[in-house]
Amino acid sequence: MYKVVYLLMSINTTIFALIVGINNSYLALKTGLSELESLVQQKLLITTGLTLDKKEMKKQLALLAARIAGALHSLADESNNNELMKQVNFTAAKIGRMRDN
């Protein structure tokens, strides 16, 4: 709605410029919309950055968890604990495909 009002006023600036109060409102609206658009763009960039950070952190966590699972698997093998070996048989790719909750 604000953009429609702004567009209407922009098209008719010569008419509205003659009325000081309306012209001041138009300039305030123009400034406010510009600031709002800038904030929206910043928010979009921040959200995208968080998504990329989350993916990278998930990848690093999967690699670390796979190393720990591998160490536990070796320990279970040395101690002949077949049940533990089955429970910690994970790869980094398999861990990475697990869902977030």
Q: Where are the domains of the chain?
A: 2-96
| Alpha-carbon torsion (92, 95, 100, 101), positive or negative | negative
pTM, to two decimals: 0.48
Look up tokens 């790869």; give the residue.
Answer: 91
Residue 18 backbone dihedrals phi, psi, to 5 degrees: -75, -20
Under 8 Å between Cβ of 63 and 92: yes
User: What torsion do the CA atoms of 27, 31, 37, 41 make, to the nearest 10 degrees?
Assistant: 160
Q: What is the DSSP letter of 96?
A: H
Question: Would you give per-residue pLDDT tens digits along the chain (101 residues)?
Answer: 667 777 778 888 888 788 888 888 888 888 888 888 888 887 776 666 666 777 888 888 888 888 888 888 888 888 899 998 888 888 888 888 887 76
